[in-house]
């Protein structure tokens, strides 16, 4: 007999570490944009596993692929080649314009690999004193010791000091501050094309191209963390493709596995060549099961018609949120975002709103203190947006009284 929500929570309190704050909600299954809890209550999910369940819940192609691949190979050592591994690498490099791929198990691991590669490249070319990396205030790059050092949020660092040296944080979107932070010790600049955990902050249109020009001028590596924005989230295969630029290194995760643990780092040939045998690896990364699923995710998402729907629904969603921000008056500041990564900034804490929306049957995210973040499955349509907006308006107004 299945457990109730209360029974699941009691077992969790007894056996799980308390490193995650969870809502009082136990989910059991999902289909498309919807999930259900242990009591059978239905929810419309506008968070999508934090931009991970890109094809929604229980997509048939993924279910079929997992079943077929599990009957062949789930995992083998990276001492050997497998067809899913090389097929996915070819698809990612072909769609991004980058040359080589490294696979791992998460976004944090992908970013850790990117930082190691940047330092190795610089060490090989310029010697040991050139290892600094500039990142943005408000950025989030992962939970490993290296990636929390790179992250521009103090709350993820507390208690883990001393952090790795060599990281400098500057205001996001401020090109002048970035230029001023470059020193002879700098080897790379690492940025999210849109700050996700930092509050869905979209930079000025000339910012990322300016950063790319700066990197070219100073012979720095440009690392783009596309863990949240990559693979269709913004309406392009990769967010950097909204601009006339190409990073030296790019990282992916989340949508890559659709919920199956997977991450990737891609790099240009001249940079990738410095990740020599024995310099970096992973035991389970690149496993056939994850690679087969990744190939289904990528081939589905990168279809032009699919990306067109993401872009059109994203524009509609942002327009509805912008209208809502005006209707809410002093309760809201602005709506912003790109594609199906959008946010609504309030003038008060956003956490109670996210909790209140659960009671109305919606899953959303509170981040950066006052921001509501929406990163639904990429199969979302305007019809689902129209269901969300009235409930969101009523929740915010009720809590604002």
Whether residues 96 and 173 fall in one domain: yes
Whether residues 297 and 212 fall in one domain: yes
Average pLDDT taken over every residue of the chain? 97
Q: What is the CATH number of the domain that holds 380?
A: 3.90.1150.10
Whether residues 264 and 156 fall in one domain: yes
Per-residue pLDDT at 401: 76
Give the separation between CA 391 and CA 75, rounded to whole angstroms: 44
Whether residues 264 and 120 fall in one domain: yes
pLDDT in tens, 176-198: 999 999 999 999 999 999 999 99
Whether residues 129 and 112 fall in one domain: yes
Whether residues 171 and 29 fall in one domain: no
- CA dihedral sign of residues 348, 229, 118, 134: negative
Whether residues 146 and 208 fall in one domain: yes
pLDDT in tens, 52-111: 999 999 999 999 999 999 999 999 999 999 999 999 999 999 999 999 999 999 999 999
pLDDT in tens, 327-372: 999 999 999 999 999 999 999 999 999 999 999 999 999 999 999 9
Give the separation between CA 67 and CA 316, rounded to whole angstroms: 36
Whether residues 190 and 319 fall in one domain: no
- CA dihedral sign of residues 210, 211, 214, 219: negative
> Torsions phi, psi of 344, nearest 5?
-125, 115
Whether 67 is covered by a domain: the verdict is no
Domain that holds residue 38: 5-59+304-400
Whether 153 is covered by a domain: the verdict is yes
Per-residue pLDDT at 328: 97
Give 172's pLDDT tier (boundaries 50, 70, 90). very high
Whether residues 222 and 332 fall in one domain: no
Report the domain count for the chain: 2
Whether residues 248 and 332 fall in one domain: no
Q: What is the CATH number of the domain that holds 176?
A: 3.40.640.10
Whether residues 229 and 218 fall in one domain: yes
Give the separation between CA 263 and CA 255, rounded to whole angstroms: 9
Give 1's pLDDT tier (boundaries 50, 70, 90). confident
Whether 113 is covered by a domain: the verdict is yes
Residue 326, Cβ density class (10 Å: 0-12 exposed, 13-18 middle, ≥19 buried): exposed
Whether residues 313 and 264 fall in one domain: no
């Amino acid at each position: 007999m299945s457990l109730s929500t209360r029974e699941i929570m009691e077992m969790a309190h007894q056996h799980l570490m308390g490193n995650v704050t969870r809502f009082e909600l136990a989910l059991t299954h999902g289909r498309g944009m919807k999930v259900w809890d242990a009591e059978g209550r239905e929810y419309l999910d506008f968070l999508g596993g934090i931009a991970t369940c890109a094809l929604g819940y229980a997509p048939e192609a993924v279910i079929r692929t997992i079943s077929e691949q599990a009957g062949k190979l789930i995992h083998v050592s990276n001492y050997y080649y497998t067809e899913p591994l090389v097929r996915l690498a070819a698809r990612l490099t072909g769609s991004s314009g980058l040359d080589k791929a490294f696979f791992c198990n998460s976004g944090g691991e992908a970013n850790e690999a990117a930082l190691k590669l940047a330092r190795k490249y610089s060490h090989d070319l310029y010697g040991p004193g050139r290892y600094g990396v500039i990142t943005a205030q408000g950025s989030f790059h992962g939970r490993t010791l290296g990636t929390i050092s790179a992250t521009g949020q103090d709350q993820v660092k507390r208690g883990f000091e001393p952090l790795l040296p060599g990281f400098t944080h500057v205001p996001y979107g401020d090109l002048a501050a970035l230029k001023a932070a470059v020193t002879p010790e700098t080897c790379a600049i690492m940025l999210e094309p849109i700050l996700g955990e930092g509050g869905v902050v979209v930079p000025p249109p000339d910012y990322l191209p300016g950063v790319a020009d700066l990197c070219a001028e100073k012979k720095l590596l440009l690392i783009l963390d596309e863990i949240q924005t990559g693979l269709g989230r913004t309406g392009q295969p990769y967010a950097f493709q909204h601009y006339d630029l190409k990073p030296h290194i790019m990282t992916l995760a989340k949508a890559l596995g659709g919920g199956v643990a997977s991450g990737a780092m891609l790099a240009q040939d001249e940079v990738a060549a410095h990740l020599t045998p024995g310099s970096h690896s992973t035991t389970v990364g690149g496993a056939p099961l994850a690679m087969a699923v990744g190939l289904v995710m990528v081939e589905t998402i990168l279809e032009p018609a699919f990306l067109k729907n993401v872009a059109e629904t994203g524009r509609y969603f942002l327009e509805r949120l912008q209208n809502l921000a005006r209707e809410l008056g002093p309760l809201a500041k602005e709506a912003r975002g790109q594609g199906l990564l959008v946010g609504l900034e309030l003038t008060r804490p956003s956490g109670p709103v996210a909790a209140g929306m659960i009671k109305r049957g919606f899953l959303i995210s509170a981040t950066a203190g006052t921001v509501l973040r929406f990163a639904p499955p990429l199969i979302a349509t305007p019809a689902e947006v129209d269901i969300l907006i009235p409930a969101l308006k009523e929740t915010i107004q009720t809590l604002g009284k």
